[in-house]
Amino acid sequence: MTETELKQNSALRDAPIGVFDSGVGGLTVVREIIRQIPNEKIVYFGDTARVPYGNKSRETVTRFSEQIVRFLRTFQVKTIVVACNTASAYAMEALERDCDIPVIGVVKPGARAAVSATKNGRIGVIATEATIGSQIYTRYIQELKHAVSIYGKACPLFVPLVEEGLLEDPVTDEIARRYLTELIDIDIDTLILGCTHYPLIRSTLGKIMGPKVTLVNPAYETAQELRRMLGRMELLNEEPPKLGSNRYQFYVSDKAEKFMTFANSIIKYGILSAKTIHIEKY
């Protein structure tokens, strides 16, 4: 569908937004969407059976992402938000090519925010091995501004630490110090939290980097871009969904109970249920 066709399709205004991630981390993006455009309905899928994506190949992450998009489209979603940085790094091109509704990833908005935040032109990116290896942040940042130096650092231990709930813990502190020391030494003034889980340890990261370093959370920027895009296409829901209309629906590929406990600690909305589905069917 073209932008004009989408505009003319007023039934879509009431349709939900599809959001997906490799697991629970994308809830940091859902939290921002709820804050910034509270009238929207959301269908979320977390691939808890196949997480992490950060150490998998481009082909595998793309195949998983395509399955998830097929699943989300069964809800007639009006747009798809790829909340996972690794999926945004690896699968965006394929998803954009195959979808006739808008698809938004988290990398471009994060890159844009970092370029407007930096003053000394030295930007750090922390993310999974896949995202750093893909050089996607470097590419987007340099498309926006050539005279910027970008320093990437993979921080693979952060995801399991967050999943274990060690958000403020001496172990997380120690590991963060080891990862971040080299970024402090090269005097970056902006740090992109290029993985869904990292905003949850923002206070630890901020403490170590110090007050002169701006931390960029792509989740925040992504929600802003989503609001702008839906506004431009006249697809923003003007009124809150009617009671009982399944405002927020959560699906996972494994361990719905564990997901719900985590989800309720991040989103203070009172998520009532999450369902397990067999994603390989899609």
**Residue number, 77 or 193, with CB nearest to ligand DGL:** 193
| Neighbour-count burial for 122-145, b at 16+ CB within 10 Å, e otherwise | bbbbbbbebbbbbebbbebbbeee
Q: In this chain, which stretch among 33-41, 48-56, 138-146, 174-182 interacts with ligand DGL, using CB under 6 A?
A: 48-56
- Six-digit token pair at 132? 């750093």
85 binds ligand DGL (CB under 6 A): yes
Which of 46, 45, 44 has its CA nearest to residue 24?
Answer: 46
Report the residue number whose CB is nearest to ligand DGL.
54
- Six-digit token pair at 214? 């701006």
Q: Residue 100 in contact with residue 133, Cβ under 8 Å?
A: no
Q: In this chain, which stretch among 51-59, 227-235, 243-251, 268-276 interacts with ligand DGL, using CB under 6 A?
A: 51-59
CA distance 124 to 126: 7
To which H or E segment does residue 122 belong?
strand 122-127
**Residue number, 145 or 151, with CB nearest to ligand DGL:** 151
**Which residues are annotated as catalytic?**
84, 195
Q: Residues 122-151 vs ligand DGL: string with x where CB under 6 A?
A: ------x--x--------------------
Q: In this chain, which stretch among 38-46, 47-55, 68-76, 116-124 interacts with ligand DGL, using CB under 6 A?
A: 47-55
Q: Residue 102 in contact with residue 79, Cβ under 8 Å?
A: yes
Q: Which of 31, 78, 112, 197 contacts ligand DGL by CB under 6 A?
A: 197
Q: Which of 22, 62, 65, 172 contacts ligand DGL by CB under 6 A?
A: 22
**Residue number, 48 or 237, with CB nearest to ligand DGL:** 48
**Residue number, 86 or 172, with CB nearest to ligand DGL:** 86
CA distance 196 to 4: 32
Distance spanning both ends of the chain, measured CA to CA: 22
- Six-digit token pair at 126? 């922390």
**Sheet with 248-252, edge to edge strand ranges:** 103-105, 79-82, 17-21, 42-46, 248-252, 274-276
79 binds ligand DGL (CB under 6 A): no
3-class state of residue 215 by DSSP: strand
**Residue number, 235 or 267, with CB nearest to ligand DGL:** 267
CA distance 204 to 104: 28
Q: Which of residues 205-244 bind ligand DGL (CB under 6 A)?
A: none
Q: Which of 25, 102, 109, 218 contacts ligand DGL by CB under 6 A?
A: 25
Number of residues that bind ligand DGL (CB under 6 A): 16
Q: In this chain, which stretch among 7-15, 192-200, 231-239, 241-249 interacts with ligand DGL, using CB under 6 A?
A: 192-200
65 binds ligand DGL (CB under 6 A): no
